[in-house]
Amino acid sequence: MTHYDVIVLGGGTMGIAAAWELAKRGRRALVLEQFSLVHDRGAHSGNTRVFRHAYAEGPDYIPLVMRADQLWMDLEAETKTTMLHRVGGLELAAPGYVHARRAKDSAVQYGLDFQWLTPAEIRAVWPMIHVPDDWEAGFGAGAGFLDVEPALHAMIRCAKARRGRAAGKHASARLGCVIARRLGQDERRTIRCGCCDRGRLGRPRA
Q: What is the pTM of this model?
A: 0.80
- Span 52-111, pLDDT tens digits: 999 999 999 999 999 999 999 999 999 999 999 999 999 999 999 999 999 999 999 999
CA distance 119 to 134: 8
State whether 99 and 163 are in the same domain. no
Q: What is the pLDDT of residue 64?
A: 96
State whether 42 and 77 are in the same domain. no
State whether 131 and 182 are in the same domain. no
Q: Which of 15-24, 46-55, 146-155, 157-166 has the lowest mean pLDDT?
A: 157-166
DSSP at 57: T
State whether 163 and 187 are in the same domain. yes
CB-CB contact of 53 with 107 (8 Å): yes
CB-CB contact of 197 with 58 (8 Å): no
175-178 own/partner pairs: CB under 8 Å, 24+ apart: 175/11, 175/33, 175/34, 175/35, 175/36, 175/37, 176/33, 176/34, 176/35, 177/32, 177/33, 177/34, 178/34
pLDDT bucket at 192, cuts 50 / 70 / 90? low
Which of the pair, 129 or 192, is modelled with greater confidence?
129
Pairing of strands 136-140, 114-117: antiparallel
Q: What is the pLDDT of residue 200?
A: 46
Task: Please give the mean pLDDT across all residues of the chain.
Answer: 84
Amino acid at the residue 200: R
Pairing of strands 29-33, 114-117: unpaired
Domain count, the chain: 2
Q: Tell me, what CATH number does 4's domain have?
A: 3.50.50.60
State whether 20 and 69 are in the same domain. no
CA distance 173 to 156: 10
Q: Tell me, what CATH number does 123's domain have?
A: 3.30.9.10
Q: How far apart, in Å, are the Cα atoms of 138 and each of 36, 117, 143, 178?
A: 39, 5, 12, 46
pLDDT of residue 132 exceeding 50, the answer is yes
List alpha helices for 98-147, DSSP H: 99-110, 119-125
State whether 64 and 102 are in the same domain. yes
Q: Which of 126, 142, 158 is the last residue of a domain?
A: 142
State whether 72 and 109 are in the same domain. yes
Q: What is the pLDDT of residue 27?
A: 87
Q: What is the pLDDT of residue 205?
A: 44
Q: Which of 121, 142, 163 is the last residue of a domain?
A: 142
**Quick one: how far is CA 36 from the chain centroid?**
18
> How much of the chain, in percent, has pLDDT values that exceed 90?
58
Partners of 76 in the beta sheet? Answer: none
pLDDT bucket at 163, cuts 50 / 70 / 90? low
Q: Which of 98, 114, 142 is the last residue of a domain?
A: 142
Q: Domain of 42?
A: 1-47+148-206
Which of the pair, 156 or 164, is modelled with greater confidence?
156
CA distance 77 to 69: 12
- Span 18-49, pLDDT tens digits: 999 998 888 888 888 888 888 888 787 889 99
